[in-house]
Amino acid sequence: MSANSPAAVVVLAAGGGTRMKSNSLPKVLHEVCGRSLVGHAVAAAEELTPEQLVVVIGHMREKVAGHLAAHHPGARAVVQEEQNGTGHAVRTALEALAADGIELDGTVIVTTGDAPLLTGGTLSALAAAHAEQGNGVTVLTAVVPEPFGYGRILRDGADGAVAAIVEEKDASDAQRAIDEINSGVFAFDAKLLVDALAEVTTDNAQGEEYLTDTLEILRRAGHRVGAVVAADYRDILGINDRVQLAHARRLLNDRLLERAMRAGVTVVDPATTWFDVQVSYEPDAVVLPNTQLQGATHLGEGCEVGPNSTVKDTRVGAGARVSNTTADGAEIGDLATAGPYAYLRPGARLARKAKVGTYVEVKNSELGEGAKVPHLSYIGDATIGEGTNVGAASVTVNYDGVNKHRTVIGAHCRTGSDNMFIAPVTVGDGAYTAAGSVITGDVPPGALGVSRAQQRNIAGWVQRKRPGTASAQAAAVATERDEQAATEA
């Protein structure tokens, strides 16, 4: 925690978000680029390393509290039992801290839980300006191309201090022409904030305690009300409905892609490529069109992912190739290949130069260095040794209806096409299995495992059992041809 860390950051996340039209999910838990709205707010606040980080919750509080506990355990959830306005929400947070004997001394940042584009850098700039200017309160503002609907910032001509914030419905024509707006994010002196909140009333049309009323209270008491303009006006954009949610997702994704490209990642088509905020990468990775990188996915140096791939919580090694593939919770080693049309489920681990090919599904299994499963196979709960080749249309039969069992295929094995491995079973190093075999018992190292019935052919079956069909006609022609050839011979 640095000497410039704020005493507290209070995130307001109690609202119902009725315009989201959701019966099952509170607004602040809707996601943008792999993180909830409130998660973005908390992550930005955490960059400031505040002494106290409080999230005020209300609507669907159990879900929000559970989400915070799971993803942001350092944030303290405080319940606003009745949503009586932003001023009441901040007062509820401060009273909860005071009840635990925590008296704040320093700067308190108040931010919102529905502004996913707001960065820690912008909050830091607000806190720094607040301290440097000696303000009682400092407002984060933005100059926007379309200010309709926002509260306008009226500044004092003498020193640029904030004289007032005028809401759209109360503004004159001249004031509506102002393009600097209130973001709803503030930096306060902690002790002055407590005193000002005590004077806030509910004497307004909504019958609520407005946090913005504290600005006039502090100004009347002789304290300067300052303002800091966000460098990027989009930082302050809040989310009220799903149209705005999609817009914010596009904007944040563009930022993430730009950051990746400037770090040395080639993104062939940014318009069809999506990154989550946790995605990490090394130089010279290439991302091809129609690709989604989700969760804590990592791209190694020089790897290539895509096109048409969805990769979640997966580590892609240096020089690996992943094409037309879905991967979730997998590990793809250096120079390994997956796809096209592969499915790597949780626990799939491909070692260096391993290959999972077309229409192959792998779950909870390890492929050793250089091991290959090229075609049309299911590999579940298995260990496959280095240099082994698994034939097409093979299945590790891992589930008996109650329990999962493991298949072990050793190093440098060659298994035939259309093999069923009935787990638990082990195929030793260097062993072969014959095509069409159902392997129910262990195969010793270097042995050939064969398990299939003797083939027999029933002559004339088609003509007798399927007379008049195209097959019967073709067979008759072929039989006559063969008999004639035999006679001439």
Instruction: Return the residue matching tokens 């260096």.
Output: 352
Q: In this structure, is the dihedral angle defined by the CA atoms of residues 377, 383, 386 and 388, taken in order, positive or negative?
A: negative
CB 346 within 8 A of CB 329: yes
CB 472 within 8 A of CB 463: yes
Q: Say how far apart CA 40 and CA 214 lie, in whole Å.
A: 26
Q: Say how far apart CA 220 and CA 229 lie, in whole Å.
A: 23
Q: Say how far apart CA 76 and CA 51 lie, in whole Å.
A: 11
In the residue annotation, 59 being an active-site residue is answered as no
- Neighbour count for residue 318 (Cβ, 10 Å): 17
Q: How far is CA 249 from the centre of its chain?
A: 11
Q: 197: which 2 tokens?
A: 């909140």
CB 447 within 8 A of CB 429: no
SS3 165: strand
Q: 273: which 2 tokens?
A: 């490529």
Q: 90: which 2 tokens?
A: 């901040």
Q: 131: which 2 tokens?
A: 């301290």
Q: Which residues of 399-417 are buried (b: 16+ CB within 10 A; e: fewer)?
A: eeeeeebbbbbbbbbebbb
Q: Which of 92, 189, 210, 175 is nearest to 138 (CA)?
A: 189
DSSP conformation letters of 88-140: HHHHHHHHHHHHTT----SEEEEEETT-TT--HHHHHHHHHHHHHHT-SEEEE
Q: How far is CA 486 from the centre of its chain?
A: 70
The one catalytic residue among 59, 71, 247, 375 = 375
Q: Which phi and psi (to 5°) does residue 281 adopt?
A: -165, 165
Using DSSP bridges, classify how beta strands 331-332 and 315-316 pair: parallel, antiparallel or unpaired.
parallel
Q: Which amino acid is at 304?
A: E
For residue 351, CA distances in Å to 20, 293, 312, 331, 364 come to 45, 21, 18, 8, 14
Going by the DSSP 8-state scheme, the letter that residue 263 receives in this structure is T
The catalytic residues are 375
